[in-house]
Amino acid sequence: MPLWSLPRADSTTMASPLPPCTAVIYSALAIVALLLLSATAVNASQGDKEPVYQGCVTQCVRTNCTGARLRGFQSTQAPYMALTGWTCRDDCRYQCMWQTVGLYQAEGYSIPQFHGKWPFARFLCFEEPASALASLLNGLACLLMLLRYRSSVPRQSPMYYTITAFSLVSLNAWFWSTVFHTRDTYLTEKMDYFCASAVILYSIYLCCVRTLGLKRPGVSSMVGVLLILAFTSHVSYLTFVSFDYGYNMAANATIGIVNLLWWLCWCWQNRRTLPYWWKCGVVVVLLHGLALLELLDFPPLFWVLDAHAVWHLSTVPVHFLFYSFLIDDSLHLLNTEKTGVKLE
């Protein structure tokens, strides 16, 4: 989802209060700092380091995942489990995870994470049922509002194709988010992370086109090339150098804050001329505020609902307000262009 606007220094007196854009900068930087601190706090996975867990997995694989036992497992495995790539070793890890959790609870210790994640109760083939459902709902909301946008806004609107492309990039990201939370593998994890980064970078481009590109197309084209290069470098580093979670969080948070500032300052500058400006401002604040839900990071309620799922669920309604803004703004731009008035 998009967000953001670069502040312009506009102080006229030495003793005046902080300009609105300056206040936004400080708030945004505080959010980044909190998110980065949370990223470093969840790297350790105590559960899968436990000897009891490791021994359980080793014994289970040796006993059940070779020869006739393996063929028996494969013959009785549900088709949807086989289609989503669940193996005998995966099933051993799942069963041993719950044995280890039971021992922790019996001794009165707090619930540990395993392989960087909380223990979740599997539903059918879904590893993280609540997060998968939330991602699907976000994708459906995005699709519904894209269809509404295309039926409400003529193609002649200056932002029509840019917004349509952004929606397709977002739909792709929500698709891979759903797949990743259904089945966490080497491929699905990377696609989830890379597609999320693509949305954030395209958000910058969307903001650039709206605020600068309509009057200076060359500027938005140049920014677009730079963003493609940035995305290529980001993906290459994570793929061929190091899949560094902290770096990925820092990169996405930094880009998101640029987007945040850019949009909010644009909202402030147009608050007297565009009656729908507040929709963009509310969306921006909500998206970044809701991201702080990740800081809660609690063991899943009923082994299903964790902070990440709550975050995804909370963003579903934001799509409706955001596209309401995009529709209002696109129609405004179209009418402005028809009357020959200079675009904002």
pLDDT tens string 74-99:
888 899 898 888 999 999 999 999 99
d(CA 175, CA 191): 10
Question: What pLDDT is recorded for position 342?
Answer: 53
Looking at residues 132-141, what average pLDDT do you find?
Answer: 96
Answer whether residue 125 shows pLDDT above 50: yes
Cβ atoms of 144 and 323 closer than 8 Å:
no
Answer whether residue 42 shows pLDDT above 50: no
Q: How far is CA 55 from the centre of its chain?
A: 36
Average pLDDT of every residue of the chain: 84
Question: What pLDDT is recorded for position 341?
Answer: 52
Most confident of the following: 132-146, 278-292, 300-314 = 132-146
Q: Which stretches within the chain are classed as H helix?
A: 20-41, 51-64, 67-76, 79-83, 88-106, 129-152, 160-182, 186-208, 217-236, 245-269, 277-290, 307-315, 318-339
Residues of the chain with CATH 1.20.1070.10: 122-337
Residue 182 — very low, low, confident or very high, per pLDDT cuts 50/70/90?
very high
Burial class (CB in 10 A: 0-12, 13-18, 19+), 255: buried
Q: Which residues share a beta bridge with 117? A: 114
Of 125-129, 251-255, 328-332, least confident by mean pLDDT is: 251-255
Looking at residues 179-199, what average pLDDT do you find?
Answer: 93
Looking at residues 97-124, what average pLDDT do you find?
Answer: 89
CATH 2.60.40.1890 fits 122-337, yes or no: no
Looking at residues 257-286, what average pLDDT do you find?
Answer: 91
